[in-house]
Amino acid sequence: MSQEIRNLEPKQLWNKFADLNAVPRPSKKEERVIEFMVNFGKSLGLETFIDDIQNVIIRKPATAGMENRKTIVLQSHLDMVHQKNSTTVFDFDKQGIDMYVDGDWVRANGTTLGADNGLGVATIMAILESKDIAHPAIDALFTIDEETGMTGALGLKGGILKGDILLNLDTEEDTEIAIGCAGGVDVTATRKYDLVATPNNVIAYSIIVKGLNGGHSGMDIHKGLGNANKIMNRLLYNGFEDFTLQVAEINGGSLRNAIPRESSAKIVVAEKSNDAFTKAFNALSADIKTEFKTTEPNLIIELTKTEVPAKVMKGETQKNIIKAIYAAQNGVYRMSATMKDLVETSNNIARVLIKDGEILIACLTRSSVETSKFDLANALRSTFELAGCEVTFKGSYPGWTPNVASPILDVLVNVYQKQHNGEKPSVVACHAGLECGILGTNYPKMDMVSFGPTIKGAHSPDERASISSVQKYWNYVLEILVNIPVRG
């Protein structure tokens, strides 16, 4: 890790971020970071404990003169999305993130950076450790498993937190204050299929789709980015419709909350159709690249001869599943009718794995409207059930309904204007899944807002955090702390 990171300002925040990023913290494998955070809290002599679901809570009393202010909850999640470039050799379970400075950006070498939500965690750590930052009484809440199910927020019981106000430090534009977000549900289609012996007189190919930007399946879903699973399926559809292409296996995407960047497939075509197939494949590849030349200038589609596999999918199953993936909604389903430019409902076809007689298709469906969320989920269910799949819904969590009359929102707007010569921040709802809506179910009277520094490319190896924005954000946090209202 570059020592440059620890020398950045504000040093107290960047040093905590560097400490945190030295600890492996994949979603659902947070044991090491939980231990790290508990040891941190206890080393400061602060009340520190773990709840039933393994969230970490650290309490710090108010500083002198701030005892009459409302208690605040500072909240961020401990886990991070693990994505890496296909050429990057890296073990997320064992290695800390390798960071470096690139102009105004902090990046990681070939992997996600963990700024989502590590910068929020580091902010809270710096405040807890400080001896000279004025603040009211604090409940610091570090939740687990935000990225793959929000089980930490879902499992937090009422009555544990003492705060009246919650500041969630998990948004990614420093000019925005979020007061609402989307809910989500995991839609998973599975089925078994019959394998048949590969016919004689065929040529086998490996197809690779790579070089896509990827990104956050909520915040980036409206940007027209390529989905590797949909692009691969389009290539296969053309092949089996016209050249009796047969699939041996498909492996595309990874995490539900990341727009898939890469996909691979092994296929065979009849020797007699080979020339026509390769000509048509190259033409279609060129068309797809042209379509995506603005949003995906680095898209690569490769067709390479390979060894003939022993078995392939049975024809009828292949036809049905490829048609189902083609028909399944991916991307924006509906824009909000009440908030300008807000995606209301969307779906990300995140994972397609077809191998050894088993099919798995994993989606994340998001919406700020619960009924619309399940409308799209049911449309996906219907599509995949027509292809013979069993479809399940799991991990459903609610959205966060905006409260434009929020008192703490007024505080944040006023502080922002004071620090930026009257310029107003944007008050928004976002299409990502923030934990505020979930936490609000057990703490319905808690006043909540979400904000953070500028982070680009979250959930992809292009994730980067703006150094100048972190400085701006840190000053903002410090001023908010001294402007927390007095208890009524």
Q: φ, ψ for residue 64 (rounded to 5)?
A: -55, 130
Q: What positions carry a catalytic annotation?
A: 79, 146
Buried-exposed string 212-238: b where 16+ CB fall within 10 A, e elsewhere: bbbbbbbbbbeeebbbbbbbbbbbbbb
Q: Is 419 helix (H, G, I), strand (E, B) or coil?
A: helix
* CA distance readout (Å), 165 to 68, 138, 161, 403, 485: 14, 10, 10, 13, 10
Q: Is 186 helix (H, G, I), strand (E, B) or coil?
A: strand
> Identity (one letter) of the amino acid at 221?
I
* CA distance readout (Å), 482 to 63, 133, 359: 10, 9, 55
**Are the C-beta atoms of 151 and 438 separated by less than 8 Å?**
no
Closest to 452 (Cα-Cα) out of 438, 466, 462, 463: 466
* CA distance readout (Å), 124 to 58, 135, 433: 10, 12, 21
Q: What angle do CA 274, 277, 279 make, to 5 degrees?
A: 110
